[in-house]
Structure 1
Amino acid sequence: MMPVLLLITFLFFPSALRANEAITWYAYDQPPAYIFNGPYKGLGFINKSQKLLINALSQYEHNEVQVSVGRFLHDLKLKKNVCIFGLGKTPERSKYVTYSNTALIHRNIHVLINKEKAAKHLLSKSINLVDLFEKHNFSTSIVDGRFYGKTIDSILAKHQNNILIRPSSADRALYKMLELNRFDFLLTFPSSAIYAIETGLISSDFELLKVKHIPAFMKTGIGCSKTEWGEKVVRDINKALTEISSKPAYFEALSFWMKDEHDKQAFHNFFKREVLDSYK
């Protein structure tokens, strides 16, 4: 009787036997990395890169869920079977996250500030972030739980009185607050700022300034729960990344929102060194 029941379960309820073969991909609202609404829906550079990866992981079922930064970190700590594309690596996160090899690269954090304010304070095109806090007593706002890079996170930790921490992961609120002068500058990725200006989320009265003492580009991997399931999934993800990273479509996806051809060439050189060469 038991073999018959197992056969029926397999034939009519195959998902019950494949519970371990599903990946829930968490995502958060951060255009143009992820774009979930409007005319560019699905054309974020993570949307496009993740789609290529999902196609290469055909042995799994895939579910995509939009959550806040706080939510996905909380669920990773609870060891839920979830993954997120482009998760920055920190010592604290490494306690509960299993990371893939490099999957995402992009231009590093810049300062977005009103042009008149920058001119008034004689700010150069490349600034020392510490000076903005200590010399100019500027304020900023950040998303709770978001990774800004080791150097910037260290600076932020020492200047808490100048920082407004928001629980929301939606960047549009931060851009609106910046335009309303609720704080002095925003730490953001260039692609995000350019997208916000081009789509009218913020006016063109703002400019991007480079931050000194950090690399030109940032690299991140895919983070999954630190469990037996997560370790297996990451092994499969690494195999898939080895397969798809050498295809032109993958670089095209990562660089989809890059406008400056000079930056794009430097970006390609970084991609070759940090991604392609690492799989040889």
Structure 2
Amino acid sequence: MIRSFVGRLGFLLLLLASAPHEDAAAESPSPIAKDITWVLNDFPPFIQVDGPLPGNGFVDAAVRYIAERMPDYNHRFEVSGIARAVGLMQQGTPVCHPALLPTAERMAYAVASRPVHFTLPHYVIARADRAERLRPFLDRDGRISLDSLLGAADITTSFTEQRAFAPAIQTALAAHKGAPNILFAGVHFNAPFLQMAAGWVDYIIAYPVEPRWYNAKGQALNEQPLVYYPIAGVEDYTLGHVMCTKGPWGEAVVQRVNAIVVDAGARPPWIDTEIALSDEASGRRLDELFTRYNPFRR
């Protein structure tokens, strides 16, 4: 009788030991999802969303190149503003944006690839009839002192929500946060340009290639020529990165992107697409800087 009871007890203990434990099951890693949602905001000539996606911008060319080399992933494309891309990452939704600047704020909820894009830096851009208002803020090298300009209460500018800039610009904006002469114009990158073109603000901060494309799309409200001023403290170029939602999924995607960019060599093909989409002067300057700095060397 005792032997029978002991035998049954041993059998029960064996079953309990071999049964999956709830905590162990919860801790076991789940497989990494093989779907990528690329959030694309209308931003010519970087990203163009007028036709089939990815479009004909130079960032689109990089996305196409990367997607073709990740056939094991299901790639889908969503056209939306930059604020939605950032909001989804903040919520932990697995998405990627193909061309972002990795600010300290963004790195709290996203992971960044190695540099994928090389562009001319942001400039202060204004209508020519407002140039005299900006001239007092130029240094001896012809660069704008942005901190002083933002501090001029009677000179207005506007920005797109969630748009990021080079560190020197971000620092100046943070120092003047809440100033009444600094406006925000929604989530579309062309909104500040339209306000400047209409004369509602005195200047904007943007890449020098942007206005030409907004004009080409019929978005200019007048024929005013524009002036472009480099910004003191901003480097000669800007690097853009693929950024994905922080976590194992995003890290896995970024690792794949990094390997693809490295394999693309010292001059990835989308760089020549960018030069072709630039005006002649900008394209020449971009080619010169790319050759000088060689940012994609292994």
Q: Smaller-chain TM-score range? A: 0.7 to 0.9
Q: Which amino acid aligns with 2:42?
A: D
Q: Which residue of 2 aligns with 1:6?
A: none
Is 1:139 the counterpart of 2:156? The answer is: yes
SS of the counterpart of 1:256? Answer: helix
Look up the match of 2:196: 178
2:236 is matched with: 216
Deviation at 1:268, TM superposition (A): 2.2
Tell me: CA distance 1:120–1:254, structure 2 relative to 1, closer, same or farther (3 Å).
Answer: closer
| Matched residue type, 1:171 | F
| CA pair 189-201 structure 1, distance change in 2 beyond 3 A | same
Q: Is the 8 A contact 2:117 2:271 kept in 1?
A: no
The answer to whether the Cα contact below 8 Å between 1:224 and 1:230 also exists between their aligned partners in 2 is: yes
RMSD: 2.5
Deviation at 1:135, TM superposition (A): 4.8
Q: Which amino acid aligns with 1:205?
A: P
SS of corresponding position for 2:240: strand
Question: Judging changes above 3 Å, is the alpha-carbon distance between structure 1 residues 182 and 20 closer, same or farther for their aligned structure 2 residues?
Answer: same
Asked whether 1:34 is paired with 2:47, we answer yes
5+ long unaligned stretches in structure 1: 1-17
1:77 to 79, 90, 105: 90
Aligned to 2:45, the other structure's residue is in SS state coil
Kept in 1, the 8 Å contact 2:118–2:290? The answer is no
Structure 2 residue 172 is the aligned partner of structure 1 residue 155: yes
Q: For 2:68 and 2:175, locate their aligned partners in 1 and report how far apart those are by CA, in whole Å.
A: 43
Which residue identity lines up with residue 176 of structure 1 in the other structure? L
Aligned residues of 2:41 and 2:49 also touching (Cα < 8 A):
no
Q: Residue by residue, what CA displacement relative to the aligned partner does 1:86-125 show, whole Å, maximum 9, x if unpaired?
A: 1111122112111111111111111111112113553555
Which of the pair has more CA radius of gyration?
2
More displaced, 112-121 or 186-195?
112-121
Q: C-alpha separation between the residues in 2 aligned to 1:250 and 1:134?
A: 39
Cα pair distance change 1:247/1:122, threshold 3 Å: closer
- The change in CA–CA distance for 1:76 and 1:121 in structure 2 (over 3 A counts) is closer
The equivalent of 2:132 in structure 1 is 119
Percent sequence identity over matched residues? 19
2:253 is paired with a residue whose SS is helix
Q: Cα distance, 1:56 vs. partner?
A: 1.6
Corresponding residue number in structure 2 for 1:20: 33
- What is the alpha-carbon distance in structure 2 between the residues aligned to residue 91 and residue 119 of structure 1? 35
Q: Please report how far the alpha carbon of residue 242 of structure 1 lies from its aligned counterpart in structure 2 after TM superposition.
A: 1.2
Tell me whether 1:167 sits opposite 2:186 in the alignment.
yes
Q: Which stretch shifts more, 238-247 or 27-36?
A: 238-247
1:2-31 deviation line (CA, Å, top 9, x unaligned): xxxxxxxxxxxxxxxx98111110111111
TM-score, length of structure 1 as denominator length: 0.83
